[in-house]
Amino acid sequence: MSVIYDRVALIGLGLIASSMFWAMRRDGLAGHVTGYARSSETRETAREIGLCDSVHDDMLDAVKDADLIVLCVPVGVMGDVMAQIAGALKPGATLTDVGSVKRGVIDAVMPYLPNGVHFVPGHPVAGTEHSGPRSGFAELFENRWHLLTPPEGTDARATARLRDLWEGMGANVAEMDPDHHDRVLAVTSHVPHLIAYTMTGVADDLRRVTDSEVVKYSAAGFRDFTRIAASDPTMWRDVFLGNKDATLEILGRFTEELFALQRAIRRGDGDHLHAYFTRTRAIRRGIIEAGQDTDAPNFGRGGGPRK
């Protein structure tokens, strides 16, 4: 494929940013990719493994002359980062992000957006429980969805160009209203993560079950909970605080459903349980048919990120 952006700046060098770099490099989508991370250790690791064409100790140096700036930092600090880099962004550049909350990011970033810079928020619905600059791999976005949530009045050409980049990295791209995005992700990602954190915490609190038994006898369901609960704590803290309203709404609905299942178990209502599980099983089939997972053993998951 041909180069889409001559110069791309990645601010934050974790799983998503590193995967973006390897995908852009694999497919020749960017001329020069700069990188910046707050931690000097992360920057040194990036240099060691060849992550980015140049790694900068100063964030302003990283974004200077960039055609595309990608904010790959926790959603809770996006406003602060934007306040620092706003004056260094060149007119005509496109700014995007990879946060899994969109309304909060838009509200935090827009007050600092310079005239002539196009802001096209985005969210790659892809990831693993791994984090850090070594965790990325070029195939992360293949056949996964990337959701763009451009605010009203966003330049259509800037949005189309960013769409081309993500499609070039293998993603399926859709546009969505920011508030609708946050509600959808509360259902599909945020509340499931909260439940996984909670169930893992419950197991840790059951003093009648020793730590060794929890590890040794973990069935697949609990193992998947622990895999999800191993996700980056800073990122998920910010996600729940940033998408508070939608998360609480869906969590309330979950609580109602849980009470109904408790009542059915208490009363021995097998018909209710069977009908409920049949309906939820069909949702799983739909996810597989949509190509968003596999029914292979262990769901096709290996022991870590692919290289």
Q: State how far the alpha carbon of 171 is from the alpha carbons of 3, 45, 145, 244, 288, in Å.
A: 17, 27, 6, 28, 17
Domain hosting residue 30, numbered range: 5-176
Q: What is the pLDDT of residues 63-78, one digit of tens each?
A: 999 999 999 999 999 9
* 192-225 per-position pLDDT tens digit: 888 888 877 777 666 556 666 666 666 667 777 7
Structural domain contains residue 282? no
Residue 70 in any domain: the answer is yes
Clarify whether residues 172 and 57 are in a common domain: yes
Please indicate, yes or no, if residue 289 is contained in any of the structural domains: no
User: What local confidence, expressed as pLDDT, does residue 22 receive?
Assistant: 97
Provide the percentage of residues in the chain whose pLDDT is more than 70: 89
Does 275 score more than 70 pLDDT?
yes
149 and 67 within one domain: yes
In a domain, 127, yes or no: yes
Residues 81 and 193 in one domain: no
Instruction: Return d(Cα 259, Cα 256) in angstroms, integer.
Output: 5
Name the domain boundary from 122, 150, 176: 176
More confident position, 5 or 297:
5
At 290 the pLDDT is 74
At 230 the pLDDT is 78
Tokens encoding 138: 């070029």
What would the two tokens of residue 232 be?
């980056």
pLDDT of 209 = 60
pLDDT confidence band for 130 (50 / 70 / 90) = confident
Note whether residue 32 is domain-resident: yes
Backbone dihedral angles phi then psi of residue 134, each to the nearest 5 degrees: -80, -5
* DSSP H or E stretch at residue 30: strand 30-36
Which sign, positive or negative, has the C-alpha torsion 159, 161, 166, 171?
positive
The answer to whether 105 and 44 are in contact (CB under 8 A) is no
- Answer yes or no: do 18 and 131 share one domain: yes
Query: What pTM did the predictor assign?
Result: 0.79
64 and 87 in a single domain? The answer is yes
| 24 shares its domain with 137 | yes
Confidence of residue 304 (pLDDT cuts 50, 70, 90): very low
User: Do both 138 and 257 map to the same domain?
Assistant: no
Count structural domains, the chain: 2
Are 142 and 184 contained in the same domain? Answer: no
Output b/e per residue, 255-272; b: 16+ Cβ within 10 A.
Answer: eeeeeeeeebeeeeeeee
